[in-house]
Amino acid sequence: MTLYNRNNYILTDSPLKKDLLKLFKTDDKLTILDIGGCEGEESIRYSRIFPFSSIYIFEPLPENQKLITGNLEKYKVENVILMPVAVSDEKGISEFHVSSGHPDHESNELDWNFGNKSSSLLSPEKENNQKWLFFDKQINVNTLTLHSFFVENKIDEVDFVHMDVQGAELKVLMGAKDCMKKIKAIWLEVADIELYNGQPLRVDIENFMNYNGFYLVKSEIEGQVGDQFYLNKNYFKTFSIFSKSIHFHFKKGN
């Protein structure tokens, strides 16, 4: 099964499924945020794991919003809410750098868009990006903060955040302000090299998360880029990390 096929990707279980099911039950009514949702693939995967949850997908690009709507209809997903905005450290309007392109070595017949997955609130550091990846277009997009999202939607807690924002991780996290303590778990992308100008590096993310009371329980880095999984100490008392598994439990009263 090739990775570069929309249908195959969506129908394949999320690599986080086993870990999330140690945290939550399938029939829990969770609040999940998919920030930088692109075409909605991850939200659809999470909707299968937690069909009774409310999943908010944040995506500022109009072209991707159309793809999300189409995918939600195609896969008959009813518990995902599209938020057509970017998440940042300020509420307002920001310039957004739109990516495009296709690798020369990949077939044009593949049902997969390689180029639309690198757009960012930050300008690209072109020397460190793939040569086939272009940022020829900038648009203005509406932004909100996680803090404003909590307040305006009267949300008390968020159970899980999946974040893929191409270098803007600290913008998103800093915009949460005191609502960081109301988020139970966060999965995000980190890098040891600046792919975008002003991008925080992995050590910056780790320091911020530790300062704000989050355990790093899983780190999957390949080369200079990867993903990390964090749990909030307000909700989880103990944990241990092994090569293939994570063990943790809720604090009493949560």
Q: Coil, helix or strand for 102?
A: coil
How would you label 59-70 residue by residue, b for 16+ Cβ within 10 Å and e otherwise? bbbeebbebbee
Indicate whether 1 belongs to any domain: no
What's 54's domain CATH number? 3.40.50.150
Do 61 and 95 touch, CB atoms closer than 8 A? no
What 8-state DSSP symbol labels residue 36?
Answer: S
As for how many domains the chain has, the answer is 1
* Residue-number span of the structural domain to which 114 is assigned: 6-250
User: How many Cβ atoms sit within 10 Å of the Cβ of residue 252?
Assistant: 6
| Predicted model pTM | 0.91
Phi then psi for residue 211, to 5 deg, are: -60, -35
Residue 227 forms part of a structural domain: yes
Residue 59 is assigned to a structural domain of this protein? yes
SS3 at position 88: coil
pLDDT tens across the length of the chain (254 residues): 346 888 999 999 999 999 999 999 999 999 999 999 999 999 999 999 999 999 999 999 999 999 999 999 999 999 999 999 999 999 999 999 999 888 888 888 787 777 788 999 999 997 778 888 898 999 999 999 999 999 999 999 999 999 999 999 999 999 999 999 999 999 999 999 999 999 999 999 999 999 999 999 999 998 899 999 999 999 987 554 434 445 555 554 45
Task: Name 31's bridge partners.
Answer: 54
CA gap 108, 102 in Å, rounded = 8
